[in-house]
Amino acid sequence: MRTKVAIIGSGNIGTDLVIKVLKRSTTLQVAALVGIDPESDGLAKARKLGVPTTSDGIQGLVAMPGFEEIEIVFDATSAGAHAKHAEILAAHGKRVIDLTPAAIGPMVVPTVNLDEHLSAPNVNMVTCGGQATIPIVAAINTVTPVPYAEIVASISSRSAGPGTRANIDEFTETTAQAIADVGGAHRGKAVIVLNPADPPITMRDTVLALVNAPDPQTQHRIRASVEYMITQVAAYVPGYRLKQPVQIDPVDQPHTLTEEPVTHQVTVLLEVEGAADYLPAYAGNLDIMTSAALRVAETMAKAVVRA
């Protein structure tokens, strides 16, 4: 029997999640899509696909027939709304996967720390930029400590819905915190760029990490670790790839961004092409968030079955 899930938020992320669960998952069943605009494209599309919907928000979800059978709820709204949703859902004993930057529960990146939080009642998916770049920081950190890591996520402005635009500050703060807490860097910084280019650009991410790696053997291990991590993320986000080989360049000492000894800067340039389940392929930022959330939900559901 499939695990029943609900999705709150009928915008780009929520609608893409509906389609992904229906198309890809043999573990999950979409029991509801929840919105607040009865005329939204997401709710209309879900109804055409046979998914039950409500435009009455979280209270509409709670009142839906079969709500008690729903085990996992994805929240694809906003950081502010999630704080209210989390309290209500916790009172009803629902597991929650948070796709906003609210970060109420532990931050999770599937290839890095999912196994540590499989029993958590609320997990946070950080941000699209975090899902793309934190695996790389973690891969470098498994070889040598990372005193400082900085990421730049550049996405098409067309792929940034109202929720994303409303959460820019939370995006940078949450991602920077996750670079340290999940990626393992001693200090992190995050930047997001909404690029208005036409035709729209595919999501691009840059990871800059300062490390102490003076010998060729350590540098070789860094490259190998990053390349392996790319394959792990690409297993659930097929459009995730390196744009060019990993660069490791010497830096001057002392470095202004860290008091710890560093000898080199590691530069990793990434591209994330979306699966075009809902928005076109340029919206890799949408795809990596929903694909990561889907991986978390499926793993949670399978863990419950095994137990």
**Residues with catalytic roles:** 128
Paired tokens of 212? 């102490």
159: annotated binding-site residue?
yes
**Alpha helices (H) in the chain, listed in sequence order:** 12-24, 41-48, 57-63, 79-91, 110-113, 128-141, 162-166, 168-181, 216-234, 284-306
230: annotated binding-site residue?
no
C-alpha dihedral, 158 to 164 to 167 to 169, nearest 10°: -50
The answer to whether the CB of 301 falls within 8 A of the CB of 71 is yes
Name residue 170's amino acid: E
158: annotated binding-site residue?
no
55: annotated binding-site residue?
no
164: annotated binding-site residue?
yes
113: annotated binding-site residue?
no
11: annotated binding-site residue?
yes
The answer to whether the CB of 137 falls within 8 A of the CB of 179 is yes
In Å, how far are 148, 212, 233 from 219, measured between CA atoms? 17, 10, 21
40: annotated binding-site residue?
no
154: annotated binding-site residue?
no
Q: What is the H or E stretch that residue 270 is in?
A: strand 264-272
162: annotated binding-site residue?
yes
Question: Edge-to-edge strand order for the sheet containing 28-34?
Answer: 53-54, 28-34, 3-8, 72-75, 95-98, 122-124
Dihedral angle sign, alpha carbons of residues 88, 103, 81, 236: negative
The answer to whether the CB of 163 falls within 8 A of the CB of 78 is yes
The answer to whether the CB of 238 falls within 8 A of the CB of 246 is no
10: annotated binding-site residue?
yes
Paired tokens of 57? 């928000």
In Å, how far are 117, 159, 233 from 107, measured between CA atoms? 9, 23, 17
307: annotated binding-site residue?
no
Binding site as annotated, residues for NAD(+): 10-13, 159-167, 285
Binding site as annotated, residues: 10-13, 159-167, 285
